[in-house]
Amino acid sequence: MKAYSRYGTHRVIEPQGVLPQAALKIDATPVCYPPECLIDVDILNIDSASFHQIKQACQHDENKMKEMILNIVKNQGKMQNPVTKSGGMLIGKVIEKGNDFHHPDLNVGDKIATLVSLSLTPLMIDEIISINLDNEQVNIKGKAILFDSGIYAKIPNDLNEKLVLAALDVCGAPAQVKKLAKKNQTVFIIGAAGKSGLLCSYMAKKHVGPHGKVIGLVNEIAQKELLEKLGYVDHIILESALDSVKVYEHVNKLTQGELADLTINVVNVENTEMTSILSTKDEGIVYFFSMATSFTKAALGAEGVSKDVTMIIGNGYTKNHANITLDLLRENKELHDLFVKRYVGE
């Protein structure tokens, strides 16, 4: 008799002994085993770093992107970008629950967003209907598996499901900022006008208080103008996150040489590790939520400039992260409406 695991190791094809996220290939057969639930998938929200890489590799051609995504899923049994190693998340309807799937609040017919990465989720795509090049959402017909160890959020009745998907894809970031940002601190957000960046900026502003400071880094005039209009940051730096020294000089000047107590990196491009590290004071914290982060570059880079900072890998999960993030959209109409415009198109 086949042994089933709540962590999904029974789905791993190669190499044996690893969990599904680390596996090169998993079994995506749309059959519901005991510690699983089967989902009828409507929408994939591809991780920003992954989507950016795919879009660049395919020269923004939607048909080529469809082909690339289909090939990735066919070859690996999951949507894990072989370059960035990241995935994303999905929305779908529960169509079957296994006997050992221990989530009594989840019922057949419930619409959910999975809060675990597509890089570990067994996925079979029958058809890609469309790709939105602006918001990283892919409309499909397909099936997916959620393991008993997985987490999810039911789609609330008061928010649009595409809006919910976009927000929950990054819900670990603002929830972690809520834990890390302290009163009167200086918080530096790299990529402050993106999806994660806006949520993190707003959360940071709430927690540092009137005597704290939030600095946002963007690389486009339109992004700077958006941040000025929203007012979530106290200072805006218009510079490339790839130019570590120039960014450091801006932060150094804005803080009178103190630098940031907490730096949040949410950009979707590589080689921004040293920008984060240089801009953070000794014994400060750097939180890397970006999936383009290299552990090697961060660790050896900090050593190379004698920087004593605590570096945190962005855990996509923290307690109650889904509700924390959705509540930001509920309490701030301006932020809600901006997300609707970007990710719903209404």
SS3 label, residue 322: helix
- Does 273 map to a domain? yes
Q: Assess whether 134 and 97 both reside in one domain.
A: yes
- Does 343 map to a domain? no
Q: Assess whether 191 and 330 both reside in one domain.
A: yes
Q: Assess whether 176 and 278 both reside in one domain.
A: yes
- Does 134 map to a domain? yes
Q: Report CA dihedral (198, 200, 201, 206) to the nearest 10 degrees.
A: 130
- Does 3 map to a domain? no
Q: Assess whether 249 and 122 both reside in one domain.
A: no
DSSP labels, 106-156: --TT-EEEE-S-TTSS-EEEEEEEEE-TTT-EEEEEEEEEEETT--EEEPP
Choosing from 123, 155, 187, the residue where a domain stops is 155
- Does 289 map to a domain? yes
What lies within 8 Å, CB to CB, of 68 at 6+ separation is 54, 57, 58
| Burial tier of 156 (Cβ tally within 10 Å: 0-12, 13-18, 19+) | middle
For residues 296 and 289, give the distance between their C-alpha atoms in angstroms, rounded to a whole number: 16
Choosing from 89, 120, 155, the residue where a domain stops is 155
Q: Assess whether 18 and 105 both reside in one domain.
A: yes
Q: Assess whether 126 and 272 both reside in one domain.
A: no
SS3 label, residue 288: strand
Q: Tell me the two tokens of residue 14.
A: 């190669």
- Does 246 map to a domain? yes
- Does 199 map to a domain? yes
Tell me: the pLDDT tens digits for 73-117? 999 999 999 999 999 999 999 999 999 999 999 999 999 999 999
ω into residue 15 within 30 of 0, thus cis?
yes
Q: Assess whether 222 and 124 both reside in one domain.
A: no
- Does 244 map to a domain? yes
Please count the structural domains in the chain: 2
Residue 18: CA count within 13 A, CB half-sphere: 11
Of the candidates 249, 300, 248, the residue with the CA atom closest to the CA atom of residue 278: 248
Q: Give the domain CATH number at 182.
A: 3.90.180.10
Q: Assess whether 151 and 229 both reside in one domain.
A: no
Task: Report the pLDDT value the prediction gives residue 1, as an integer from 0 to 100.
Answer: 54
Q: Tell me the two tokens of residue 316.
A: 């996509």
Strand duo 137-147 + 88-97: pairing: unpaired
Buried b (16+ CB within 10 A) or exposed e, 116-149: bbbbbbbbbbeebeebbeebbbbebebbbbbbbe
Choosing from 155, 184, 201, the residue where a domain stops is 155
Query: DSSP assignment, residue 16?
Result: T
Q: Assess whether 185 and 330 both reside in one domain.
A: yes
| Domain with 203 in it | 172-321+326-335
| Burial tier of 322 (Cβ tally within 10 Å: 0-12, 13-18, 19+) | buried
Q: Tell me the two tokens of residue 216.
A: 């946002």
SS3 label, residue 253: helix
Q: Assess whether 137 and 226 both reside in one domain.
A: no
Of the candidates 197, 168, 159, 179, the residue with the CA atom closest to the CA atom of residue 337: 159
Task: Report the pLDDT value the prediction gives residue 30, as an integer from 0 to 100.
Answer: 97
For residues 342 and 163, give the distance between their C-alpha atoms in angstroms, rounded to a whole number: 9
Q: Assess whether 35 and 180 both reside in one domain.
A: no
Per-residue model confidence as pLDDT tens for the chain (346 residues): 578 999 999 999 999 999 999 999 999 999 999 999 999 999 999 988 899 999 999 999 999 999 999 999 999 999 999 999 999 999 999 999 999 999 999 999 999 999 999 999 999 999 999 999 988 899 999 999 999 999 999 999 899 888 998 898 889 999 999 999 999 999 999 999 999 999 999 999 999 999 999 999 999 999 999 999 999 999 999 999 999 999 999 999 999 999 999 999 999 889 999 999 999 999 999 999 988 889 999 999 999 999 999 999 987 788 889 999 999 999 999 999 999 998 887 5
Q: Assess whether 310 and 187 both reside in one domain.
A: yes
